[in-house]
């Protein structure tokens, strides 16, 4: 048996997963440089970033734009999807045999919300253009997300600067973006960008109640999958705070339900809420739901602290649920987290 095949079989047996061989082919890689499967089971090798990478996934290749491509598995080891992951966030992607409606919808949404203003900012530099217009970088970033927010005076200045009219500078196809976002919101509620887009859409239409509902949906999803209110570094926390402020501005209701109240409070509250939910579900014998709550505790508003506690609870709940692959993966990620300390 070839050494690569032996290494892949060893990983499969150890973790109860099935690894598509095409992802590891050195001659015909589907993506970037494939991960050496020999490194996957060795925590000290650093291939698996336990407590950071999604706990139901293994790294399979370097991503073209930086970061890592992860392969996610169901609880019984079947491959589910590929995602492009970095500490700044993650999104489903399409590569080879792996198709993704969410990836296609996000690409179409980004195209629909592109504007001439974004192109001008790319050419002249965001910060320089914001300075010339006399606005803060944050205000200018909000104009790039939603050109409907650009006031009249900066519109006139931008027309003079570029020689372009309003349509060329500020037009965005919010109807198409909204249609794409609604489709994915109905099937992938853990992805935050559809609620983000639909919140902006309804807010711009002057529908605060509907906007609050979608901002709330985004806050109840995985913050690392926000896609439009983010910047460099680890931006999803700042984007989450802006969504919380937008929700508070638009919402006319009383105190929100507990999960949303925790999301509005911040990452530590999200961690505490979902760990408590995990424990309560375990006590009631609902172990599969407890697994999901443990995952939410660690990765909904990712906070790289005490992840040994989160991963330990996740592995125990997965064991009790009979999700052998998720249990084995969680234990691998736990070992990697401890090795890196």
Domain ranges of the chain: 3-99, 102-108+174-253, 114-170, 265-340
Helices in 163-286 by DSSP H: which ranges?
A: 166-170, 174-187, 193-204, 208-219, 236-250, 258-265, 267-283
Global confidence as pTM: 0.93
Using 50, 70 and 90 to split pLDDT, how confident is the model at 171? very high
Residue with tokens 């409907």: 148
Which pLDDT belongs to residue 230?
55
Tokens matching residue 85? 């992951």
pLDDT average, residue stretch 158-166: 94
Calculate the average pLDDT of the chain: 94
pLDDT at position 234: 53
- Indicate whether 206 pLDDT > 60: yes
Between 231 and 122, the higher pLDDT residue: 122
Given a contact cutoff of 8 angstroms between Cβ atoms, the answer to whether 244 and 192 are in contact is: no
Longest dimension (CA), the chain: 70
Angstrom distance (rounded) from CA 229 to CA 89: 12
Give dist(CA 237, CA 301) in Å, integer.
7
Q: What is the mean pLDDT of residues 64-84?
A: 94
User: What is the pLDDT at residue 231?
Assistant: 54
Evaluate if residue 28 carries a pLDDT over 70: yes
Q: Tens of pLDDT along 233-266?
A: 457 888 999 999 999 999 987 789 999 999 999 9
For the cut 60, the answer to whether the pLDDT of residue 32 exceeds it is: yes
3-state DSSP assignment of residue 220: coil
pLDDT of residue 134: 93
């Amino acid at each position: 048996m070839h050494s690569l095949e032996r290494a892949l079989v060893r990983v499969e047996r150890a973790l109860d997963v099935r690894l598509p061989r095409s992802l590891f082919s050195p001659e015909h890689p589907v993506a970037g440089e494939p991960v050496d499967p020999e490194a996957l089971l060795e925590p000290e090798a650093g291939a698996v970033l336990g407590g950071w990478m999604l706990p139901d996934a293994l790294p399979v290749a370097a991503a073209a734009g930086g970061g890592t491509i992860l392969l996610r598995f169901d609880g019984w080891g079947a491959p589910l999807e590929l995602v492009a992951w970095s500490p700044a966030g993650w999104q489903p992607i399409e590569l080879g045999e792996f198709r993704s409606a969410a990836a296609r919808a996000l690409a179409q949404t980004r195209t629909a919300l592109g504007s001439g203003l974004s192109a001008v900012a790319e050419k002249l530099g965001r910060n320089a253009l914001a300075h010339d217009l006399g606005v803060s970088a944050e205000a200018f970033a909000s104009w790039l997300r939603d050109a409907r927010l650009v006031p009249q005076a900066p519109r006139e200045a931008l027309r003079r600067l570029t020689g372009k009219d309003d349509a060329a500078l500020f037009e965005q196809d919010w109807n198409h973006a909204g249609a794409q976002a609604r489709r994915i919101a109905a099937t992938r509620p853990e992805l935050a960008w559809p609620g983000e887009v639909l919140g902006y859409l309804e807010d711009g239409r002057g529908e605060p109640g509907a906007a609050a509902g979608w901002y709330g949906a985004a806050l109840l999803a995985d913050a690392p999958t926000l896609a439009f209110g983010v910047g460099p570094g680890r931006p999803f926390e700042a984007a989450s705070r802006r969504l919380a402020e937008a929700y508070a501005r638009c919402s006319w209701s009383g105190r929100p339900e507990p999960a949303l109240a925790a999301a509005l409070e911040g990452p530590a509250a999200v961690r505490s809420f979902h760990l408590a939910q995990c424990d309560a579900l375990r006590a009631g014998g609902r172990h599969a739901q407890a697994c999901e709550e443990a995952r939410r505790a660690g990765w909904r508003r990712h906070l790289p602290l005490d992840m040994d506690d989160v991963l330990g609870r996740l592995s125990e709940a997965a064991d009790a649920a009979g999700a052998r692959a998720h249990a084995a993966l969680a234990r691998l990620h736990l070992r990697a987290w401890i090795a890196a300390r």
